[in-house]
Amino acid sequence: MTDHTYTPDEIAKMFKISKHTVYELIKRGELHAFKVGNKMRISPEEVERYKNTSQAYQSKKLDPTLTHPSTTNTIRLSGSHDFLVEQLSKSVSKNTNLIVQPTFIGSLEGLMMMYRGAADVAAVHLLDPNSKEYNIPFIKQLFVHEKISVIHFATREQGFIVAKGNPRNIVSFEDLTRKDITFINRQKGSGTRFLLDSFLQQKAINPRQVTGYDNEEWNHLSLAAQISRGSADVGFGIRSAAEQLGLEFIPVIEEQFDLVFRWTQENETPLNLLYEFLSSNEFKISISKIPGYKVRELGVIKYETN
C-alpha cells in the first residue's frame, strides 16, 4: 500500500472537474477525505472506490453537481449516505442500462431535493419523535398531490462506535456527558442526527453537556475514521462503518431505512426498472452478508399514493 495521498487539486485534474466540485463531493460525503494539519487529503483506496461507484467518472460527461438528468435512463438519488445505497448504485450501472446519480446530503435534505423536483428517489431514515414511526409521517406532510411510493430497503443497526476494546467503557448516552469523553456527531439534517437528538431528549441530556456535539462529519465512514485516528472517543453511527475500520460497536437500536420514489411521466420507466432490480433475489443475495443490515423485507412497499 502506497503512502501517497492526493490533494483536492490533484483529484480535480484526475477527474477533469473543478476544485470547487471536489470540495462539494467531500462535503456531501460522496468522496471521503481526511485532514493532515489543516489540509484535505484523499487516499488512493478512496480514489479507486470513487472511480468504481461514481457515475460522474463512469459517464465522464456528467457533472456530479448537476440536479437534472441528462438522459432518460438517469435516476437522481438524494439523501442519506449508506453502504447499501452505494452498492445499489454500482450494481444497477453494472447490470442494467440505468444510471443512478447519487447525492449524499442527509435524509431531510434528500427529501427536500425530491420535493423541489431535483431528485427522483430519496434514501431516508427519519424517526418521527411523536409517533415513533420512520419516514412515512414526513412523506405525508411534504407530498400531498404527488404520486409517491415508500419502499423498504433495509433494517440497520445504529449505536456507539468506539475504539477496539472500548477503552473508555462507553455504554450509555449518559457517558457522552463525561468530561473525559470527546464525541463526534453527524451533520444537521441527517437521519442519524435526528435519532441521536431524540435519544438525548428522552434522557433529558442537554447537547451542551456533550463535548464535541458541534463537531460534524457528513458520512458514517468519516465519523468512524475520526475515532480510528483518536480524534474522538465515540460517535453514533452504523455497525458497518465500525467493522470496516476494525472498531468496536455497541448496538442501541434497529432502524428502518427506506427508498422513496416520486413518480412522474418522465421517470416512470426507469423507476420501474430500478424497483424490479432492487427487488430481485440476485441483488438481495449480493448484499445479504454485509454486516449490520437485515434485508428480508427488501422491496416491500410500505406506503403509496396515487
Please state the domain extents for the chain. 1-65, 158-254
Determine the Cα–Cα distance for residues 3 and 61; give it in Å rounded to an integer.
31
**pLDDT for the residue numbered 31:** 79
pLDDT of 37 strictly over 70: no
Residue 239 near residue 159, CB atoms below 8 Å: yes
User: Largest Cα–Cα distance in the chain?
Assistant: 56
Least confident range of 6-10, 78-82, 119-123: 6-10
CB 61 within 8 A of CB 67: no
pLDDT value of residue 29: 67
- To the question of domain 158-254 being in CATH 2.40.50.140, the answer is no
Residues constituting the chain = 306
Predicted confidence (pLDDT) per residue in 242-286, tens digit: 999 999 999 999 999 999 999 999 999 999 999 999 999 999 999
Q: Is the dihedral of CA 165, 169, 175, 179 positive or negative?
A: negative
Distance from C-alpha of 55 to C-alpha of 58, rounded to nearest angstrom: 5
State the Cα–Cα distance between residues 151 and 301, nearest whole angstrom.
4
> What's the pLDDT at 44?
82
The residue with cell 437522481 is 76
pLDDT digits (tens, 9 = 90+) for 44-96: 877 887 777 654 444 433 344 444 443 478 999 999 989 999 999 989 988 99
- The CATH number fitting domain 1-65, selected from 1.10.1660, 2.30.30, 2.40.10, 3.40.1710: 1.10.1660
pLDDT of 293 = 97
pLDDT above 50: residue 199:
yes
Residue corresponding to grid cell 477525505: 33
Contact 265, 149 (CB under 8 A): no
pLDDT of residue 30: 73
Q: What is the residue whose three cell numbers read 441528462?
A: 70
Cβ-proximal residues to 219 (8 Å cutoff; 6+ apart), any chain: 29, 32, 81, 104
What is the structure's pLDDT at 57?
40
256 or 35: which leads in pLDDT: 256
- pLDDT category at 3 given cuts 50, 70, 90 is low
Q: Which of 92, 80, 83 is nearest to 28 (CA)?
A: 80
At 203-243, the pLDDT tens digits run 999 999 999 999 999 889 889 999 999 999 999 999 999 99
DSSP string across the chain: -----B-HHHHHHHHT--HHHHHHHHHHTSS--EEETTEEEB-HHHHHHHHHH-HHHHHSS--TT--S-SSTTEEEEEE---HHHHHHHHHHHHHSS-EEEEEES-HHHHHHHHHTTS-SEEEE--B-TTT--BSHHHHHHH-SSSEEEEEEEEEEEEEEEE-TT-TT---SGGGGG-TT--EEEEPTT-HHHHHHHHHHHHTT--GGGSTTTT-EESSHHHHHHHHHTTS-SEEEEEHHHHHHTT-EEEEEEEEEEEEEEEE-TTTHHHHHHHHHHHTSHHHHHHHTTSTTEE-TTTT-EEEE--
Backbone angles phi and psi of 149, in degrees to 5 = -130, 130
122-168: pLDDT as tens digits: 999 999 989 999 999 999 999 999 999 999 999 999 999 999 999 99
Distance CA 266, CA 47 (A): 33
Q: Looking at residue 62, what is its pLDDT?
A: 37
pLDDT at 204: 97
Give the pLDDT confidence score for residue 101 in this predicted structure.
87
pLDDT at residue 54, as a whole number? 56
Rg (CA), the chain: 19
Q: How many CA atoms lie within 13 A of 282 on its CB side?
A: 6
Q: What is the mean pLDDT of residues 89-109?
A: 90
Q: Which residue has better confidence, 20 or 236?
A: 236
What is the pLDDT at residue 171? 97
